[in-house]
Structure 1
């Protein structure tokens, strides 16, 4: 089984939070991350205190993690998920839906600290 790391969980790992460190270490040979999560993490690093150190820490963290890009299949999955959520009046932020669409397209389990947030998405596997 392969896992997709949500942005919040990657940030928790980088901050040294025990649960995130334990979980991501346990699955370290089977991890992937959306390029969207990478962009969100970088957004929180640039022009912030200790930028250089945090970029080095991020580079070390990403070693061995597959970075998954958004393609036509993910875009289609995004549109289908978003339209279902809109019909239920339960929309999430678009970037979160893209991350979920990536997990579903690649048949990955999403590792997130926002389980209730993502449980709105039917068929998404969450750890």
Structure 2
């Protein structure tokens, strides 16, 4: 991530929800503060109708093939696809099932 300026990075509002859920589940004020600091530096992109439409298509395709990846992951992947963006994850293998999704591992 250090190779990229914050202005070049965005996260989905779905990603933020997943991060906040993790912090809340752990009851971690420290994690909440870290998340808040991070989202101040990057753009949080709202999940919109094109993303919802893409989610429906991706989720149905994965289900037909018997390769679901979970709702949160499908939502985030579909959002990246709807925006034509690269999806950054340390689990690229998991997301290979999503046709057309470009992934990178910055770990």
Runs of at least 5 residues in structure 2 that lack an aligned partner in the other structure: none
Structure-1 residue corresponding to 2:84: 107
SS in 2 for 1:67: strand
Q: Distance in 2 between matches of 1:116 and 1:91?
A: 13
- TM-score, normalised on structure 2? 0.87
Does the 8 Å contact 2:87/2:102 carry over to 1? yes
1:60 to 37, 43, 57: 37
Q: Indicate the SS of the match to 2:84.
A: coil
1:96 pairs, out of 73, 80, 100, with: 73
Query: When the two structures are superposed, what TM-score results if normalisation uses the length of structure 1?
Result: 0.74
Query: Which ranges of structure 1 fall in alignment gaps of 5 or more residues?
Result: 1-23
1:37-76 equivalences in 2 (<5 Å): 37-46=15-24, 48=26, 50-51=28-29, 53-76=30-53
Corresponding pairs, count: 103
Which of 1 and 2 has higher RCO (CA within 8 Å, sep 6+)?
A: 1
Are the equivalent residues in 1 in contact too, given 2:12–2:45 (CA < 8 A)? yes
Q: Distance in 2 between matches of 1:54 and 1:126?
A: 25
1:11 match: none
Aligned residues: CA RMSD: 1.5
Q: SS in structure 1 opposite 2:103? A: coil
Task: Name the counterpart of 1:30.
Answer: 8
1:118 corresponds to which residue? 95
